[in-house]
Amino acid sequence: MSETRIIKVEALARVEGEGALHVKMRGDEILDLRFRIFEPPRFFEAFLQGRGYQEVPDITARICGICPVAYQMSSVHALEQALGLTPGPEYGKLRRLLYCGEWIESHALHVLMLHAPDFFGKHSVLELAQEHPELVERGLQLKKAGNAIVHTVGGREVHPINVRVGGFYRAPRKDELESLVRPLTEARETARTLVGWVAGFDFPELEIDYEYVALSHPEEYPMNRGRIVSNKGLDIAVEDFYEHFQEEHIEHSNALHCRRLPHGSTYQVGPLARFNLAFDKLTPLARETALRHGFEPPITNPFKSIIARALEVLHACDEALTLIEQYEEPPAPFLTAPNRKGVGHACTEAPRGILYHRYEVGEDGLIEKADIVPPTSQNQAQIEEDLRRLLPTLLSETQEVMQHRCEQAIRNYDPCISCATHFLKLEIERV
């Protein structure tokens, strides 16, 4: 008779949020697998209704303390579309610089503090720092460089307050941005070292034929604008999002699952999707660094997402320096939008993948309806599929190894589901 195992992970550590894992297996057959997100619903979409559109960027920034810029960018772009407002390229470049800052600080946090300990069998970055103190210290400086961009352009490091529909409340001076050049130049060199370090990790063997989904723009690496594309033939305008993707309630999760229409399949968003779909749009330095370490498309091992994140840190540092060099202060910090009735859609690339916003604005300038689809809800079903592929390869392993690999597989996606700090014991019940 085949052995039955029940695997329970009550709370995930080193992820942003509150989640758990439950697996029931008989032999190598998975009878039940649930990646549970039990953090209570926060109702942001509901309490945006009736608010003035200028309030939306500051409110949505509070959804996440790690990627507030992503929520602000998706919201302002969607609202500007609804209001018929088109800020010029100088505003777009400044917003892209702000986004670079978020990518640097968010990816540096994930790579060094949350994910790298997995590859060394460590429980925390504090244990990792005992063996690699210089890398952890330089990683903190890297994060500090990203935070400095967000502070200078966004007004403060966490939940920035300078972004508004039509532009910014205040445009930074040229000399303020130039003060970032030296730390960013040092950060760029640190990022090059970081790519080489993580590329040398020992990666579990797991190859999956993903549908990768990301933005695509002919002039730039995906971040703030473009069409939604995939490696399976998808190529749509952002406005057509709901014609090709569907959110659904799952009994075991307070986060919606999002699947591809019409077949209901899973898909992956985030650094690996961007890397595989837009490798040629990376800065020359980032491309050369990737090739030097044998990292080139197609990459289908989810555990190698840590390399893609490190590479995007390098890309963001490199591009930020170019944007600062080219910066010219706009003639006015913002354009004024008239109140008008309209519907707006936007999608930008949060560190963890595409973030879709849709708003209906009334003639009085108040929000009548809001829809927000974050990247973690889009990746959640794919995380479960990854675990289904991974677990049969771990049947001969110890309880500790099984627990470690399952946690690591989830952290490949850097799921953003709020803050949890401890991982309770894994329970395997043998019947």
List of domains in the chain: 4-41+396-430 (no CATH), 44-378 (1.10.645.10)
Cβ atoms of 59 and 48 closer than 8 Å: yes
Cβ atoms of 14 and 410 closer than 8 Å: no
Average pLDDT, the chain: 89
| Ramachandran angles phi, psi of 408, nearest 5° | -65, -40
Q: What's the pTM?
A: 0.91
Find, among 64, 97, 322, 309, the residue nearest to 224 by Cα.
97
Residue type, 207: E
Cβ atoms of 383 and 303 closer than 8 Å: no
Give the three-class secondary structure for 42: coil
Give the three-class secondary structure for 140: helix
Question: What is the pLDDT at residue 290?
Answer: 98
Residues 6+ apart with CB under 8 A from 175: none
The predicted model gives 363-383 an average pLDDT of: 92
Cβ-based burial of 248 (10 A; exposed 0-12, middle 13-18, buried ≥19):
exposed
Question: What is the pLDDT at residue 419?
Answer: 27
Residue 397's pLDDT band (boundaries 50, 70, 90)? confident
Distance CA 160, CA 128 (A): 31
CB-CB neighbours of 202 under 10 Å: 7
Residues 6+ apart with CB under 8 A from 123: 13, 117
Which residue is it, tokens 């760029």?
A: 188
Cβ atoms of 249 and 236 closer than 8 Å: no
N- to C-terminal Cα separation, the chain: 10
Distance CA 132, CA 130 (A): 6
Cβ atoms of 389 and 208 closer than 8 Å: yes
Question: What is the pLDDT at residue 38?
Answer: 62
Q: Write the pLDDT tens digit of every residue in 40-91.
A: 666 788 889 999 999 999 999 988 878 899 999 999 999 999 999 999 999 9
Give the β-pairing of 16-17 and 19-26: unpaired
Q: Is the pLDDT of residue 360 over 80?
A: yes
Give the β-pairing of 245-248 and 257-260: antiparallel
The predicted model gives 207-223 an average pLDDT of: 97
Dihedral angle over CA of 280, 282, 283, 286, nearest 10: -110
Can you count the helices (H) and strands (E) in the chain?
14, 16
| Ramachandran angles phi, psi of 180, nearest 5° | -85, -10
Q: Is the pLDDT of residue 426 over 70?
A: no
